[in-house]
């Protein structure tokens, strides 16, 4: 995994830009991050779990709204799990997304004893507080929310910032090279762009192959039970 400086230095070395002034470090940093944004879009389209992350939010009794993880992508939450207690007294349940806001609001108003309430959530985004995770009922409970979500790719700002899509660094560097050629009016721009597109195609193929195959399960053979179920005894068991 390369840092921003390592990626930038590699581009400078490959293009022999040490003595050149028409391309600045600011230019290169911008092109590198532009390429990360382009790669990120492909990743979110083809294999979102590449950026699957987990955050822990402290649940506080009486608190209705909580911040989304700071690096979340488009409010994309996969699952929220509430947990409380420890040892042999751990309580957990999935905090499912609200499907009927009217029912959730009624529970919000009338559930005054929240010690055993099954919690649910909905995204809100108002002008005063911005994006929040709204928990129902609002008389929440102490504990923790384990939030599984899809995050953004890391923007590289400092020289020591590490690229977190390292499989596709070659594409990122080639994009920066293409932009450098383009800015200089270099006739090698077209060849560089073609190479960049080939790396992009390989990236897309790699992402497509990362998608888990959910059709590789072997169906269980229940014929023995079916043959033995003359009276229908097993009919509701399987």
Residues 6+ apart with CB under 8 A from 68: 75, 77, 123, 131, 132, 133, 149
Write down the pLDDT at residue 115.
65
Sheet holding 120-126, edge to edge: 65-67, 130-136, 120-126, 96-97
Could you tell me if 118 and 93 are in contact, meaning their C-beta atoms sit under 8 angstroms apart?
A: yes
Could you tell me if 114 and 37 are in contact, meaning their C-beta atoms sit under 8 angstroms apart?
A: no
Domain ranges of the chain: 13-48+155-210, 50-151
61-94 pLDDT, tens digit each: 888 899 999 999 999 999 999 999 887 788 899 9
Highest mean pLDDT: which range of 84-93, 180-189, 228-237: 180-189
Decide if pLDDT at 235 tops 50.
no
Could you tell me if 81 and 92 are in contact, meaning their C-beta atoms sit under 8 angstroms apart?
A: yes
Q: How far apart are CA 80 and CA 97, in angstroms?
A: 9
For 16, 39, 41, 192, the CA distances from 31, given in Å and listed in that order, are 17, 12, 15, 14
Decide if pLDDT at 37 tops 50.
yes
Write down the pLDDT at residue 210.
84
DSSP characters for 140-186? --SEEEEEEEEEPPPP--STTPBPS-GGGHHHHHHHHHHHHHHHHT-
Residue carrying structure tokens 């911008």: 30
Write down the pLDDT at residue 225.
35
Backbone angles phi, psi at 139, to 5 degrees: -80, 70
Cα atoms found within 13 Å of the Cα of residue 118, Cβ hemisphere only: 7
């Amino acid at each position: 995994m390369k840092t921003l400086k390592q990626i930038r230095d590699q581009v400078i070395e490959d293009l022999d830009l040490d003595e050149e002034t028409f391309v600045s470090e600011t230019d290169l940093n911008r092109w590198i991050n532009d390429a990360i944004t382009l790669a990120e879009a492909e990743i979110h389209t083809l294999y979102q779990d590449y950026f699957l992350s987990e955050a822990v939010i402290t649940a506080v009794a009486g608190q209705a709204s909580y911040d989304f993880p700071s690096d979340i992508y488009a409010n994309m939450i996969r699952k929220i799990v509430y947990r409380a207690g420890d040892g042999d007294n751990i309580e957990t349940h999935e905090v499912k997304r609200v499907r009927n806001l009217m029912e959730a609001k009624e529970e919000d108003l009338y559930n005054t004893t929240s010690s055993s309430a099954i919690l649910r959530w909905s995204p809100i985004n108002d002008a005063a507080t911005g994006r929040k995770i709204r928990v129902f009922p609002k008389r929440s409970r102490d504990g923790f929310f384990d939030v599984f979500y899809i995050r953004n790719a890391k923007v590289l700002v400092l020289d020591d910032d590490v690229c977190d899509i390292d499989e596709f660094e070659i594409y990122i560097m080639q994009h920066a090279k293409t932009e450098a050629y383009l800015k200089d009016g270099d006739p090698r721009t077209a060849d560089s762009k073609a190479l960049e597109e080939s790396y992009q195609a390989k990236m897309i193929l790699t992402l497509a192959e990362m998608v888990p195959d959910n059709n590789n399960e072997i169906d269980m053979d229940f014929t023995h039970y079916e043959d033995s179920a003359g009276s229908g005894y097993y009919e509701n068991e399987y």
